Amino acid sequence: MEPVLIQLLNGLSIATILILVSLGLAVIFGMLGIINLAHGEFFMLGAYCVATATAWGVSPWWGIAAAPIVVGLVGMAAQQTIIKPLYRRPLDTLLATWGLSIVIRQVVRLIYGSGQMMAGSLITGSTHIFGFGYPTYRLFIILVTAAIVALTFLLYFRSDFGLRIRMVIANRSMAGALGVNTQSTDLWAFGIAAAMVGFAGAIMSPLVVINPEMGLEYLSRAFIVVIIGGIGHLYGVIAGGVAFGGAEAALSFYLRPVVAQILVVLIAVVLIRVRPQGLTGGSRG
């Protein structure tokens, strides 16, 4: 019973983080048609915010609080200076965001060096669930990311701002003709997406190795989640995250983590081949 419960919680922990990282990617692609290859570097910047707070001797919680603000501002600056002039030129935006990811990594190397950094401990100890101990910080990650995902869906489906986003995604020209400020909506949607992935990097920082290359792994995993869930479907991110995270946690129980990740990618490839529209393809949302 204990190993099964622990693996379920591990799978839930991985899935919630992947969903949080992938949501911003899905919104940016669905709204702007941009494949943001700098998304992983935004995740990395969030982790470095916590590492910086730790290095300065202040509480890592300040780093977590600052991460979405700092990364959100970086994302908004990138949207205004690099991405906005390249709308309707998807291949150019692909190259531009790839270049941006390289620039961000090099800037981080210049400031912090290429070595690893550490984030301070935030919550220690374990919590007993049905008589079994489980790390309290992982439970914290599950609860916080679930709350943020729920708020994101409320923002997207139950607010005026979310309505404007969906109008722009459905028909940008018509939304503009009806009085929606599409440029402002683009800017804030991109900034919020960057802030979410920055926050994801911050809360994951105590559990991962922090270095300039760390974003690449999460970029590839986020793309797989979005694709197997169904491109353009926000609910698909949840389905993709649960499928990917659950499979990874289950296989890691029997196999080495590297082998498990390879098998998960192979399963994703087969799934995409069998169902190219994704798990939720056909139900727009």
Residue 135 β-bridge partners: 126
The predicted structure's pLDDT at residue 2: 64
Residue 210 β-bridge partners: 117
CA atoms within 13 A on the CB side of 54: 17
Give buried/exposed letters for 136-170 (b at 16+ CB in 10 A, else e): ebbbebbebbeebbeebbeebeeeeebebbbbbbe
Instruction: Please list the pLDDT of the chain residue by residue as tens digits (285 residues).
Output: 666 777 788 778 888 888 888 887 887 776 677 788 898 999 999 999 999 999 998 888 999 999 999 999 999 999 899 888 887 777 788 889 999 999 999 999 999 998 888 887 778 888 887 777 888 888 888 899 889 888 888 888 888 888 888 888 778 888 888 888 888 888 898 899 899 999 999 998 888 889 998 888 888 888 888 888 776 677 778 888 888 877 877 777 777 777 877 887 888 788 878 877 777 765 444
Residue 127 β-bridge partners: 134
Residue 129 β-bridge partners: 132
What is the pTM assigned to this prediction? 0.87
